[in-house]
Structure 1
Amino acid sequence: MHDRLDLSHPDERNQAAADYVLGLLTPDEKTQFEELMAVSQDTQREVQEWREHLDVLNETLPPVEPPKHIWKNIEKATRKKESFWCSLKFWQGSAFASVALTLIVVMANFQSVNPTGMEYVYVVNNQEKSPGWILNASLDSKKLVMDTVQPYSIPEGKACELWLVVDGVEPISLGMLPESGTKEMTLPRGWAERLSKAKIIVTLEDQKGASNGWDMGPVLDKGDWSTRTY
Protein backbone atom coordinates (compact mmCIF):
# COMPACT_ATOMS: atom_id res chain seq x y z
CA MET A 1 0.00 0.00 0.00
CA HIS A 2 2.83 2.43 0.92
CA ASP A 3 6.58 2.66 0.45
CA ARG A 4 6.70 3.39 4.17
CA LEU A 5 3.79 4.17 6.45
CA ASP A 6 3.84 7.66 7.93
CA LEU A 7 1.89 6.91 11.09
CA SER A 8 2.46 10.41 12.44
CA HIS A 9 -0.08 11.66 9.86
CA PRO A 10 -3.64 11.14 11.19
CA ASP A 11 -5.22 10.48 7.77
CA GLU A 12 -2.61 7.90 6.80
CA ARG A 13 -2.81 6.28 10.23
CA ASN A 14 -6.60 6.05 9.93
CA GLN A 15 -6.30 4.60 6.42
CA ALA A 16 -3.72 2.11 7.70
CA ALA A 17 -6.18 1.06 10.43
CA ALA A 18 -8.81 0.35 7.76
CA ASP A 19 -6.32 -1.57 5.62
CA TYR A 20 -5.18 -3.52 8.69
CA VAL A 21 -8.76 -4.63 9.37
CA LEU A 22 -9.21 -5.58 5.70
CA GLY A 23 -5.90 -7.47 5.62
CA LEU A 24 -4.33 -5.25 2.94
CA LEU A 25 -1.08 -4.31 4.68
CA THR A 26 2.18 -5.90 3.59
CA PRO A 27 4.04 -7.93 6.26
CA ASP A 28 6.42 -5.01 6.93
CA GLU A 29 3.55 -2.50 7.11
CA LYS A 30 1.60 -4.82 9.41
CA THR A 31 4.59 -5.13 11.76
CA GLN A 32 5.08 -1.36 11.82
CA PHE A 33 1.39 -0.74 12.42
CA GLU A 34 1.14 -3.34 15.21
CA GLU A 35 4.14 -1.78 16.96
CA LEU A 36 2.24 1.50 17.07
CA MET A 37 -1.04 -0.17 18.03
CA ALA A 38 0.65 -1.88 21.00
CA VAL A 39 1.26 1.47 22.69
CA SER A 40 -1.29 3.84 21.19
CA GLN A 41 -4.85 3.77 22.53
CA ASP A 42 -5.92 6.03 19.65
CA THR A 43 -4.74 3.47 17.11
CA GLN A 44 -6.40 0.63 19.02
CA ARG A 45 -9.64 2.60 19.04
CA GLU A 46 -9.43 3.33 15.30
CA VAL A 47 -8.98 -0.37 14.55
CA GLN A 48 -11.95 -1.31 16.70
CA GLU A 49 -14.10 1.42 15.11
CA TRP A 50 -13.21 0.19 11.62
CA ARG A 51 -14.06 -3.38 12.60
CA GLU A 52 -17.44 -2.32 13.91
CA HIS A 53 -18.11 0.02 11.01
CA LEU A 54 -17.14 -2.38 8.24
CA ASP A 55 -19.14 -5.15 9.86
CA VAL A 56 -22.18 -3.27 8.57
CA LEU A 57 -21.32 -4.64 5.14
CA ASN A 58 -21.69 -8.20 6.38
CA GLU A 59 -25.09 -7.45 7.86
CA THR A 60 -26.64 -5.25 5.16
CA LEU A 61 -25.24 -6.31 1.78
CA PRO A 62 -27.06 -9.21 0.10
CA PRO A 63 -24.91 -12.17 -0.95
CA VAL A 64 -23.75 -12.08 -4.56
CA GLU A 65 -23.13 -15.17 -6.66
CA PRO A 66 -19.93 -14.41 -8.59
CA PRO A 67 -19.92 -15.05 -12.35
CA LYS A 68 -17.81 -17.94 -13.65
CA HIS A 69 -15.26 -15.62 -15.21
CA ILE A 70 -14.42 -14.32 -11.73
CA TRP A 71 -13.07 -17.72 -10.71
CA LYS A 72 -10.96 -17.80 -13.88
CA ASN A 73 -9.48 -14.46 -12.93
CA ILE A 74 -8.74 -15.80 -9.45
CA GLU A 75 -6.96 -18.82 -10.91
CA LYS A 76 -4.90 -16.61 -13.20
CA ALA A 77 -4.00 -14.28 -10.35
CA THR A 78 -3.00 -17.25 -8.17
CA ARG A 79 -0.75 -18.68 -10.86
CA LYS A 80 0.97 -15.33 -11.19
CA LYS A 81 1.26 -15.08 -7.39
CA GLU A 82 -0.67 -11.83 -7.58
CA SER A 83 -3.36 -10.94 -5.09
CA PHE A 84 -6.71 -10.83 -6.85
CA TRP A 85 -7.79 -8.12 -4.39
CA CYS A 86 -5.27 -5.76 -6.02
CA SER A 87 -6.01 -6.86 -9.57
CA LEU A 88 -7.89 -4.28 -11.65
CA LYS A 89 -9.13 -7.01 -14.01
CA PHE A 90 -10.75 -8.78 -11.09
CA TRP A 91 -12.95 -5.78 -10.36
CA GLN A 92 -13.72 -4.65 -13.91
CA GLY A 93 -17.10 -5.94 -15.05
CA SER A 94 -17.49 -7.85 -11.80
CA ALA A 95 -20.59 -8.12 -9.69
CA PHE A 96 -18.30 -7.29 -6.78
CA ALA A 97 -17.85 -3.75 -8.10
CA SER A 98 -20.95 -2.65 -6.23
CA VAL A 99 -19.46 -4.01 -3.00
CA ALA A 100 -16.23 -2.12 -3.63
CA LEU A 101 -18.14 1.10 -4.31
CA THR A 102 -20.17 0.66 -1.12
CA LEU A 103 -16.96 0.12 0.85
CA ILE A 104 -15.45 3.34 -0.53
CA VAL A 105 -18.58 5.30 0.42
CA VAL A 106 -18.56 3.83 3.93
CA MET A 107 -14.90 4.72 4.43
CA ALA A 108 -15.41 8.28 3.16
CA ASN A 109 -18.39 8.84 5.42
CA PHE A 110 -16.59 7.38 8.41
CA GLN A 111 -13.60 9.67 7.99
CA SER A 112 -15.84 12.76 7.90
CA VAL A 113 -17.26 12.13 11.40
CA ASN A 114 -16.53 15.03 13.75
CA PRO A 115 -17.59 14.08 17.29
CA THR A 116 -16.84 16.14 20.37
CA GLY A 117 -13.61 16.13 22.39
CA MET A 118 -10.05 16.56 21.20
CA GLU A 119 -6.67 15.02 21.83
CA TYR A 120 -3.28 15.88 20.38
CA VAL A 121 -1.03 13.11 19.11
CA TYR A 122 2.48 13.04 17.68
CA VAL A 123 4.66 10.13 16.61
CA VAL A 124 8.38 10.78 17.04
CA ASN A 125 10.12 8.80 14.32
CA ASN A 126 13.47 7.16 14.96
CA GLN A 127 16.34 7.08 12.49
CA GLU A 128 14.65 4.23 10.60
CA LYS A 129 11.48 6.32 10.17
CA SER A 130 9.41 4.04 12.38
CA PRO A 131 7.73 5.03 15.68
CA GLY A 132 10.26 5.84 18.38
CA TRP A 133 7.88 7.47 20.86
CA ILE A 134 4.15 8.23 20.92
CA LEU A 135 3.18 11.58 22.47
CA ASN A 136 -0.39 12.15 23.67
CA ALA A 137 -1.47 15.53 25.08
CA SER A 138 -4.81 16.40 26.64
CA LEU A 139 -6.10 19.96 26.95
CA ASP A 140 -8.66 18.98 29.58
CA SER A 141 -6.18 17.44 32.01
CA LYS A 142 -3.19 19.48 30.72
CA LYS A 143 -1.22 16.23 30.71
CA LEU A 144 1.41 14.96 28.30
CA VAL A 145 2.18 11.24 28.12
CA MET A 146 5.31 9.95 26.37
CA ASP A 147 5.19 6.25 25.44
CA THR A 148 8.40 4.58 24.33
CA VAL A 149 8.12 2.30 21.28
CA GLN A 150 11.49 1.86 19.56
CA PRO A 151 13.69 4.84 20.44
CA TYR A 152 16.81 6.14 18.77
CA SER A 153 20.13 4.42 19.28
CA ILE A 154 21.60 7.18 21.44
CA PRO A 155 25.35 7.55 22.02
CA GLU A 156 26.49 7.10 25.59
CA GLY A 157 26.08 10.26 27.64
CA LYS A 158 23.43 11.67 25.30
CA ALA A 159 19.63 11.91 25.46
CA CYS A 160 16.67 13.12 23.38
CA GLU A 161 15.14 16.39 24.56
CA LEU A 162 11.55 17.37 23.70
CA TRP A 163 10.63 21.00 22.92
CA LEU A 164 7.52 23.00 22.16
CA VAL A 165 8.03 25.95 19.82
CA VAL A 166 5.66 28.78 18.86
CA ASP A 167 6.72 31.63 16.59
CA GLY A 168 7.74 34.64 18.63
CA VAL A 169 7.87 32.70 21.89
CA GLU A 170 11.03 31.21 23.33
CA PRO A 171 11.04 27.40 22.94
CA ILE A 172 10.27 25.53 26.13
CA SER A 173 11.75 22.20 27.09
CA LEU A 174 9.45 19.40 28.22
CA GLY A 175 12.42 17.39 29.40
CA MET A 176 14.05 14.24 28.12
CA LEU A 177 12.20 11.53 26.28
CA PRO A 178 12.26 8.29 28.29
CA GLU A 179 14.66 5.55 27.29
CA SER A 180 11.92 3.01 28.01
CA GLY A 181 8.42 2.78 29.43
CA THR A 182 6.05 5.72 29.90
CA LYS A 183 6.64 9.22 31.22
CA GLU A 184 3.81 11.55 32.23
CA MET A 185 4.01 15.25 32.98
CA THR A 186 1.81 18.31 33.39
CA LEU A 187 2.08 20.86 30.59
CA PRO A 188 3.80 24.07 31.74
CA ARG A 189 1.54 26.98 32.67
CA GLY A 190 0.31 28.84 29.61
CA TRP A 191 1.41 26.18 27.12
CA ALA A 192 -1.84 24.19 27.14
CA GLU A 193 -3.51 27.16 25.45
CA ARG A 194 -0.68 27.39 22.89
CA LEU A 195 -0.62 23.66 22.18
CA SER A 196 -2.63 23.77 18.95
CA LYS A 197 -0.11 26.21 17.43
CA ALA A 198 3.02 24.66 18.89
CA LYS A 199 5.50 22.70 16.84
CA ILE A 200 7.41 19.76 18.27
CA ILE A 201 11.18 19.50 18.08
CA VAL A 202 13.34 16.63 19.33
CA THR A 203 17.06 17.34 19.73
CA LEU A 204 20.11 15.36 20.74
CA GLU A 205 21.63 16.78 23.91
CA ASP A 206 23.88 15.94 26.83
CA GLN A 207 21.94 14.11 29.53
CA LYS A 208 21.48 17.35 31.46
CA GLY A 209 19.78 18.94 28.45
CA ALA A 210 20.39 22.14 26.52
CA SER A 211 21.19 25.26 28.51
CA ASN A 212 18.35 27.22 26.82
CA GLY A 213 15.92 27.11 23.92
CA TRP A 214 18.28 28.82 21.52
CA ASP A 215 21.33 26.60 22.05
CA MET A 216 19.79 23.30 21.03
CA GLY A 217 21.77 20.37 19.78
CA PRO A 218 21.18 18.56 16.45
CA VAL A 219 17.49 18.23 15.51
CA LEU A 220 16.43 14.58 15.25
CA ASP A 221 12.75 15.10 14.47
CA LYS A 222 10.26 17.94 14.16
CA GLY A 223 6.64 18.43 13.13
CA ASP A 224 3.12 19.47 14.09
CA TRP A 225 0.62 17.90 16.42
CA SER A 226 -2.12 15.80 14.89
CA THR A 227 -5.62 16.33 16.24
CA ARG A 228 -7.94 13.45 16.87
CA THR A 229 -11.63 14.28 17.44
CA TYR A 230 -14.00 11.66 18.81
Structure 2
Amino acid sequence: MTEADRNALAGEYVLGLLAPEDLAAAQRLRETDPDFAQAVRRWELRLLPIADEVPPLAPPERVWARIAAATAPAETPASQRRTAPRRFWTFGALGAALVAVLLLVWAPGTPPGREIATLQNADGGSFVVRETRQTLQITPQNVRLPAGKVAELWVILPHQAPRPAGLMTGGGKLVTPLPDAPDGLVLAVSLEPPGGSPTGQHTGPIIAKAFITKL
Protein backbone atom coordinates (compact mmCIF):
# COMPACT_ATOMS: atom_id res chain seq x y z
CA MET A 1 0.00 0.00 0.00
CA THR A 2 1.40 3.38 -1.00
CA GLU A 3 1.40 6.33 1.37
CA ALA A 4 -1.31 8.02 -0.72
CA ASP A 5 -3.50 4.89 -0.56
CA ARG A 6 -2.93 4.60 3.18
CA ASN A 7 -3.83 8.25 3.75
CA ALA A 8 -6.99 8.03 1.62
CA LEU A 9 -8.13 4.88 3.41
CA ALA A 10 -7.50 6.48 6.80
CA GLY A 11 -9.59 9.50 5.82
CA GLU A 12 -12.48 7.33 4.66
CA TYR A 13 -12.19 5.28 7.86
CA VAL A 14 -12.40 8.34 10.10
CA LEU A 15 -15.34 9.78 8.15
CA GLY A 16 -17.22 6.48 8.30
CA LEU A 17 -17.40 6.09 4.53
CA LEU A 18 -16.30 2.46 4.26
CA ALA A 19 -18.54 -0.49 3.44
CA PRO A 20 -18.85 -3.02 6.29
CA GLU A 21 -16.28 -5.46 4.91
CA ASP A 22 -13.81 -2.64 4.18
CA LEU A 23 -14.39 -1.16 7.62
CA ALA A 24 -13.56 -4.48 9.28
CA ALA A 25 -10.37 -4.73 7.23
CA ALA A 26 -9.42 -1.16 8.13
CA GLN A 27 -9.99 -1.83 11.82
CA ARG A 28 -7.68 -4.84 11.65
CA LEU A 29 -5.12 -2.78 9.75
CA ARG A 30 -5.27 -0.08 12.40
CA GLU A 31 -4.44 -2.66 15.06
CA THR A 32 -1.55 -4.23 13.15
CA ASP A 33 -0.04 -1.43 11.05
CA PRO A 34 1.53 1.43 13.04
CA ASP A 35 1.78 3.63 9.93
CA PHE A 36 -1.94 3.25 9.23
CA ALA A 37 -2.76 3.89 12.88
CA GLN A 38 -0.74 7.11 12.73
CA ALA A 39 -2.55 8.15 9.53
CA VAL A 40 -5.90 7.59 11.26
CA ARG A 41 -4.77 9.68 14.21
CA ARG A 42 -3.66 12.51 11.92
CA TRP A 43 -7.08 12.55 10.25
CA GLU A 44 -8.81 12.59 13.63
CA LEU A 45 -6.70 15.52 14.79
CA ARG A 46 -7.36 17.42 11.54
CA LEU A 47 -11.11 16.83 11.35
CA LEU A 48 -12.27 16.94 14.95
CA PRO A 49 -11.56 20.68 15.50
CA ILE A 50 -13.46 21.54 12.32
CA ALA A 51 -16.28 19.12 13.11
CA ASP A 52 -16.88 20.84 16.45
CA GLU A 53 -17.60 24.09 14.61
CA VAL A 54 -20.01 22.80 11.96
CA PRO A 55 -23.62 23.33 13.09
CA PRO A 56 -25.75 20.17 13.03
CA LEU A 57 -28.10 20.02 10.06
CA ALA A 58 -31.46 18.53 11.02
CA PRO A 59 -33.44 17.01 8.12
CA PRO A 60 -37.24 17.52 8.14
CA GLU A 61 -39.28 14.92 10.02
CA ARG A 62 -40.71 13.58 6.76
CA VAL A 63 -37.18 12.66 5.67
CA TRP A 64 -36.59 10.66 8.85
CA ALA A 65 -39.95 8.93 8.42
CA ARG A 66 -39.09 7.98 4.84
CA ILE A 67 -35.67 6.68 5.87
CA ALA A 68 -37.14 4.66 8.73
CA ALA A 69 -39.75 3.09 6.46
CA ALA A 70 -37.19 2.20 3.82
CA THR A 71 -34.58 0.77 6.15
CA ALA A 72 -36.63 -0.90 8.89
CA PRO A 73 -35.02 -4.35 9.33
CA ALA A 74 -36.59 -7.57 10.49
CA GLU A 75 -36.01 -8.47 14.15
CA THR A 76 -32.38 -9.55 14.48
CA PRO A 77 -31.30 -12.19 17.03
CA ALA A 78 -29.23 -10.77 19.87
CA SER A 79 -26.24 -12.92 18.95
CA GLN A 80 -26.18 -11.41 15.47
CA ARG A 81 -26.65 -7.88 16.77
CA ARG A 82 -23.52 -8.21 18.86
CA THR A 83 -21.41 -9.15 15.85
CA ALA A 84 -22.99 -6.91 13.21
CA PRO A 85 -20.51 -4.61 11.43
CA ARG A 86 -20.50 -1.11 12.88
CA ARG A 87 -20.19 0.84 9.65
CA PHE A 88 -20.91 4.24 11.13
CA TRP A 89 -18.96 3.91 14.37
CA THR A 90 -16.14 6.18 13.26
CA PHE A 91 -18.60 8.71 11.84
CA GLY A 92 -20.48 8.80 15.13
CA ALA A 93 -17.24 9.36 17.00
CA LEU A 94 -16.85 12.65 15.16
CA GLY A 95 -20.24 13.91 16.34
CA ALA A 96 -23.43 14.98 14.61
CA ALA A 97 -21.79 18.18 13.40
CA LEU A 98 -20.15 16.23 10.59
CA VAL A 99 -23.48 15.84 8.81
CA ALA A 100 -22.25 18.56 6.43
CA VAL A 101 -19.23 16.50 5.36
CA LEU A 102 -19.29 14.99 1.88
CA LEU A 103 -16.93 12.77 -0.04
CA LEU A 104 -15.76 14.22 -3.34
CA VAL A 105 -14.49 11.56 -5.71
CA TRP A 106 -11.96 13.00 -8.13
CA ALA A 107 -10.97 10.91 -11.12
CA PRO A 108 -8.18 11.80 -13.57
CA GLY A 109 -9.68 12.84 -16.87
CA THR A 110 -12.93 14.10 -15.38
CA PRO A 111 -14.81 16.01 -18.13
CA PRO A 112 -14.24 19.77 -17.72
CA GLY A 113 -17.04 21.49 -15.87
CA ARG A 114 -18.45 18.28 -14.38
CA GLU A 115 -20.19 18.78 -11.04
CA ILE A 116 -18.49 16.54 -8.50
CA ALA A 117 -20.20 17.55 -5.25
CA THR A 118 -22.59 19.89 -3.49
CA LEU A 119 -21.72 21.05 0.02
CA GLN A 120 -24.91 21.76 1.99
CA ASN A 121 -24.93 24.19 4.89
CA ALA A 122 -27.30 24.40 7.83
CA ASP A 123 -29.32 27.28 6.35
CA GLY A 124 -30.40 25.38 3.26
CA GLY A 125 -27.83 26.93 0.94
CA SER A 126 -25.13 25.04 -0.90
CA PHE A 127 -21.73 25.32 -2.53
CA VAL A 128 -21.58 23.52 -5.88
CA VAL A 129 -18.12 22.17 -6.70
CA ARG A 130 -17.07 21.58 -10.31
CA GLU A 131 -13.76 20.31 -11.66
CA THR A 132 -12.61 22.36 -14.64
CA ARG A 133 -9.35 20.89 -15.94
CA GLN A 134 -6.73 22.24 -13.52
CA THR A 135 -9.11 24.15 -11.25
CA LEU A 136 -11.94 23.67 -8.82
CA GLN A 137 -14.91 26.01 -9.30
CA ILE A 138 -17.05 26.65 -6.22
CA THR A 139 -20.38 28.42 -6.75
CA PRO A 140 -22.60 29.49 -3.82
CA GLN A 141 -26.32 28.84 -4.33
CA ASN A 142 -28.93 30.35 -2.02
CA VAL A 143 -26.23 30.98 0.58
CA ARG A 144 -27.30 33.75 2.96
CA LEU A 145 -24.31 35.30 4.66
CA PRO A 146 -24.64 37.42 7.79
CA ALA A 147 -24.18 41.15 7.31
CA GLY A 148 -20.53 42.11 7.26
CA LYS A 149 -19.33 38.55 6.55
CA VAL A 150 -17.83 36.79 3.52
CA ALA A 151 -17.37 33.10 2.75
CA GLU A 152 -13.72 32.05 2.61
CA LEU A 153 -12.52 28.77 1.12
CA TRP A 154 -9.75 26.79 2.81
CA VAL A 155 -7.65 24.04 1.27
CA ILE A 156 -6.21 21.48 3.67
CA LEU A 157 -3.58 19.11 2.26
CA PRO A 158 -2.43 16.02 4.16
CA HIS A 159 0.07 16.85 6.93
CA GLN A 160 -0.30 20.60 6.27
CA ALA A 161 -2.08 23.49 7.95
CA PRO A 162 -5.17 24.96 6.26
CA ARG A 163 -4.40 27.65 3.70
CA PRO A 164 -6.79 30.28 2.33
CA ALA A 165 -7.89 29.76 -1.28
CA GLY A 166 -10.09 32.78 -1.93
CA LEU A 167 -13.26 34.64 -1.02
CA MET A 168 -16.84 34.26 -2.22
CA THR A 169 -18.63 37.59 -1.95
CA GLY A 170 -21.98 38.71 -3.26
CA GLY A 171 -22.90 35.22 -4.43
CA GLY A 172 -20.03 35.11 -6.91
CA LYS A 173 -18.19 31.93 -7.75
CA LEU A 174 -14.60 31.17 -6.81
CA VAL A 175 -12.06 29.40 -9.01
CA THR A 176 -9.00 27.95 -7.28
CA PRO A 177 -6.14 25.86 -8.73
CA LEU A 178 -6.53 22.11 -8.31
CA PRO A 179 -3.59 20.85 -6.22
CA ASP A 180 -1.14 18.55 -7.99
CA ALA A 181 -1.95 15.75 -5.54
CA PRO A 182 -5.61 16.15 -4.54
CA ASP A 183 -5.86 12.76 -2.83
CA GLY A 184 -6.77 13.31 0.81
CA LEU A 185 -7.61 16.97 0.27
CA VAL A 186 -10.16 18.69 2.52
CA LEU A 187 -12.12 21.77 1.44
CA ALA A 188 -13.73 23.95 4.09
CA VAL A 189 -15.76 27.17 3.98
CA SER A 190 -15.74 29.60 6.89
CA LEU A 191 -17.41 32.92 7.67
CA GLU A 192 -14.87 35.73 7.86
CA PRO A 193 -14.78 39.55 8.02
CA PRO A 194 -14.60 41.54 4.76
CA GLY A 195 -11.24 40.91 3.13
CA GLY A 196 -10.94 37.46 4.68
CA SER A 197 -9.23 36.14 7.76
CA PRO A 198 -6.50 38.49 8.98
CA THR A 199 -4.55 35.66 10.61
CA GLY A 200 -4.02 33.13 7.81
CA GLN A 201 -6.25 30.67 9.71
CA HIS A 202 -10.02 30.67 9.89
CA THR A 203 -11.38 32.98 12.60
CA GLY A 204 -15.09 32.37 12.04
CA PRO A 205 -17.27 29.25 12.11
CA ILE A 206 -16.93 26.51 9.50
CA ILE A 207 -20.22 26.30 7.57
CA ALA A 208 -19.40 23.48 5.13
CA LYS A 209 -16.57 21.11 4.28
CA ALA A 210 -15.75 18.13 2.09
CA PHE A 211 -13.12 15.40 1.74
CA ILE A 212 -11.64 14.57 -1.67
CA THR A 213 -10.30 11.15 -2.57
CA LYS A 214 -8.88 10.14 -5.95
CA LEU A 215 -10.07 7.08 -7.84
Higher relative contact order (CA 8 A, sep 6+): 2
TM-score, normalised by the number of residues in structure 2? 0.42
Greater Rg, structure 1 or structure 2? 1
TM-score, normalised by the number of residues in structure 1? 0.40
